[in-house]
């Protein structure tokens, strides 16, 4: 199968050829035809398999086949959860539309809105946006979504799961009810699918691979280690292996900053990227990581969505995610486009449940290694530490079990909600 056989126009085929693409990936081959037919699509594929081209190529084809008046209203809206992903998608739109009379633009928080508003006033066919900045500009009367024909949710599971649902619903009310809707993501839980089907109209569902499976070319390893020895172990692994490009995941922004400082003090060039960082700092960190001046990029899950890093050899989970599907997204940063990669997870006793859930999700047992001098603590509790609960509270649980249980039950939902709201505000509005 070729891109030409999918029915794409000559200008798009010319842009694809310039990029060096010859054969569509499985998700592109399955998704592009129904999108070209004007159908709503729910598409699932592993990270790094070409989902972005799966919706941008047919979207551009449809818009170019039906050109509008000289004044360019926003005809296609692509919504993403993070600034980095928005920038990446926009770069793809710009490349694929090189030989088309189509204008694109990207808007996100963390930077001055005036240049973005000025670009929109000049007329934009395709707008890529994060929810917060989009709603801000619309509420100021600086843009209109009344002429949108195609609406895309990229990383739809994260958009809905991380607390963006109200923003999405608000955006949907600003668009015509008659439009084409597309959802693309690496993972779709059953709950997320229910939400997706409330937005899509008689959608075609396409999958390139079994849902929530890890890329086969990725070598996955688990290092069992005492919680307090994780930092020393990760520094040892990176130093002894002389690894030059490593993406490290932490659960929290504070944890990312702390680990980054420890690495720098050990002689390893590192930078942190998360929602509390300014857009300038995030751009600088990513650029340094790509050009090799920064060996280690320490990131949180939400900030790492959309990082386009070709041939990334190593991903390390300094802490396992408490949402199993996020593990698939994390390790999918390596092993992209058929290349091999290594995904390492440092697992302490309190992450045992997370590991078991991940192995159940990907339907495989991950090989376990113990490094001499970094052995796990045999007396440590295997009970997960809940959000908002520190280690001292966990150790003293048996002394005040009833009180702790009540507090955990009362605070669990509010902590989770607050965490999601903070992530949303940091990444879409800042």
Which domains does the chain show, CATH number per domain? Answer: 4-207 (3.40.50.300), 218-386 (3.40.50.300)
Alpha helices in 1-112, H assignment, sequence order? 10-19, 26-36, 51-65, 83-96
Report the mean per-residue pLDDT for the chain.
Answer: 83
Instruction: Give the CA dihedral 354, 356, 361, 364, nearest 10 degrees.
Output: 140
In tens, the pLDDT along 306-325 reads 566 767 889 999 999 988 88
Query: Cα dihedral angle (331, 191, 188, 153), rounded to 10 degrees?
Result: -110
At residue 420, does pLDDT exceed 60? Answer: no
Q: Could you read off the pLDDT of 64-122 as tens digits, one per residue?
A: 987 766 678 999 999 998 888 898 899 999 999 999 999 999 999 888 999 999 999 99
The pLDDT value recorded for residue 194 is 74
Geometric angle at alpha carbon 219, from 216 and 220, rounded to 5°:
100
Strands 218-224 and 341-347: parallel
Whether residue 63 is predicted with pLDDT greater than 90 in this model: the reply is: yes
Helix (H, G, I), strand (E, B), or coil: what is residue 195? Answer: helix
> Between 338 and 290, whose confidence is greater?
290
CA–CA distance, 194 with 392 (Å, rounded to integer):
39
Query: For residue 161, what are its two tokens?
Result: 């799961």
What crossing angle do the helices spanning 113-121 and 131-139 adopt, rounded to 10°?
70
Q: Which two tokens stand for residue 218?
A: 């990725």
Among the listed ranges 231-235, 282-286, 314-318, which one has the minimum average pLDDT value?
Answer: 282-286
Assess contact for 89 and 52: CB atoms under 8 A. yes
pLDDT of residue 221: 95
As a whole number of angstroms, the distance between CA 63 and CA 174 comes to 20
More confident residue, 209 or 364: 364
* Alpha carbon distance 337, 304 (integer Å): 18
Residue 245 or residue 426, greater confidence: 245
pTM value? 0.67
Across residues 220-248, what is the average pLDDT? 95
The pLDDT of residue 34: 96
> In this predicted model, what pLDDT tens digit does every residue of 116-133 receive, in sequence order?
999 999 999 999 999 999
DSSP line for 91-143:
HHHHHHTTTSS--EEEE-SSS-HHHHHHHHHT--SEEEE-HHHHHHHHHTTS-
CA 421 to chain centre: 17
Mean per-residue pLDDT for 273-278? 82
pLDDT band for 409, please (50, 70, 90 cuts): very low
134: pLDDT strictly greater than 80: yes
pLDDT band at 382 (very low <50, low <70, confident <90, very high): confident
d(CA 150, CA 138): 18
**What pLDDT does residue 124 have?**
94
Which pLDDT band holds residue 303 (cuts at 50, 70, 90)? low
Contact (CB, 8 A) for 94 and 126? no
Give the pLDDT confidence score for residue 69 in this predicted structure: 62
Query: Quick one: pLDDT at residue 393?
Result: 42
Among 247, 378, 343, residue whose Cα is nearest residue 301: 247
| pLDDT of 237 strictly over 80 | yes
CB atoms within 10 A of CB 375: 12
Neighbours of 340 (CB within 10 A): 12
Q: For residue 280, what pLDDT is reported?
A: 81
H, E, C per residue of 295-364: CEEEECHHHHCCCCCCCCCEEEECCCCCCHHHHHHHHCCCCHHHCCEEEEEEECHHHHHHHHHHHHHHCC
Taking each helix axis as running N to C, give the angle between helix 83-96 and helix 10-19, from 0 to 180 degrees, rounded to the nearest 10. Answer: 120
Q: Which residue has the higher pLDDT, 350 or 420?
A: 350
Three-class secondary structure of residue 184 per DSSP? strand
349-353: average pLDDT = 94
Say what percent of the chain tops pLDDT 70.
Answer: 81
Q: Which helix (H) or strand (E) holds 418?
A: helix 401-424
Q: Is the pLDDT of residue 397 over 50?
A: no
What sections of 228-293 are H helices per DSSP?
Answer: 230-241, 253-265, 279-291
Give the integer Cα–Cα distance in Å for 2 and 13.
Answer: 10
**Adjacent-strand bridge partners of 316:** 248, 344
More confident residue, 49 or 93: 93
* Beta bridge partners of residue 343, listed in sequence order: 220, 315
């Amino acid at each position: 199968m070729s891109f030409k056989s999918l029915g794409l126009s000559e200008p798009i085929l010319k842009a694809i050829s310039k990029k060096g693409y010859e054969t569509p990936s499985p998700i592109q081959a399955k998704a592009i035809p129904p999108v070209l037919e004007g159908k709503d699509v729910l598409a699932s594929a592993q990270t790094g398999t070409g989902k972005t081209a799966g919706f941008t190529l047919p979207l551009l084809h449809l818009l170019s086949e039906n050109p509008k008046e000289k004044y360019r209203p926003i005809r296609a809206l692509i919504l993403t959860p993070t600034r980095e992903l928005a920038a990446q998608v926009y770069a793809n739109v710009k490349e694929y539309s090189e030989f088309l009379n189509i204008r694109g633009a990207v808007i996100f928080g963390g930077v001055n809105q005036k240049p973005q508003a000025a670009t929109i006033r000049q007329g934009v066919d395709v707008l890529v946006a994060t929810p917060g900045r989009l709603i801000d500009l619309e509420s100021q009367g600086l843009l209109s979504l009344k002429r949108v024909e195609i609406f895309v949710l990229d990383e739809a599971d994260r958009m809905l799961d991380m607390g963006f649902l109200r923003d999405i619903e608000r955006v949907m009310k600003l668009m015509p009810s008659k439009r084409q809707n597309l959802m693309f993501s690496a993972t779709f839980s059953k709950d997320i699918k229910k939400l997706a089907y409330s937005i899509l109209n008689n959608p075609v569902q396409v999958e390139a691979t079994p849902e929530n499976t890890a890329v086969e070319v990725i070598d996955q390893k688990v290092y069992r280690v005492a919680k307090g020895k994780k930092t020393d172990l990760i520094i040892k692994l990176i130093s002894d292996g002389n690894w030059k490009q490593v993406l490290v995941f932490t659960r929290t922004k504070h944890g990312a900053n702390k680990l980054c400082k420890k690495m720098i003090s050990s002689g390893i060039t590192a930078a942190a990227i998360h929602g509390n960082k300014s857009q300038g700092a995030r751009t600088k960190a990513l650029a340094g990581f790509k050009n090799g001046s920064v060996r280690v990029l320490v990131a949180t899950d939400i900030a790492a969505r959309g990082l386009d890093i070709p041939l990334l050899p190593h991903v390390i989970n300094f802490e396992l995610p408490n949402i199993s599907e996020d593990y698939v997204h994390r390790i999918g940063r390596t092993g992209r486009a058929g290349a091999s990669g290594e995904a390492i997870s440092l697992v302490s006793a309190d992450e045992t449940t997370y590991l078991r859930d991940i192995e159940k999700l990907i339907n495989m047992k991950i090989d376990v290694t113990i490094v001499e001098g970094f052995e796990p603590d045999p007396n440590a509790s295997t009970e997960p530490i809940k959000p908002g609960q520190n280690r001292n509270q966990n150790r003293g649980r048996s002394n005040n079990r009833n009180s702790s249980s009540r507090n955990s039950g009362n605070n669990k939902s509010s902590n989770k909600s607050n965490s999601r709201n903070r992530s949303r505000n940091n990444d879409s509005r800042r």
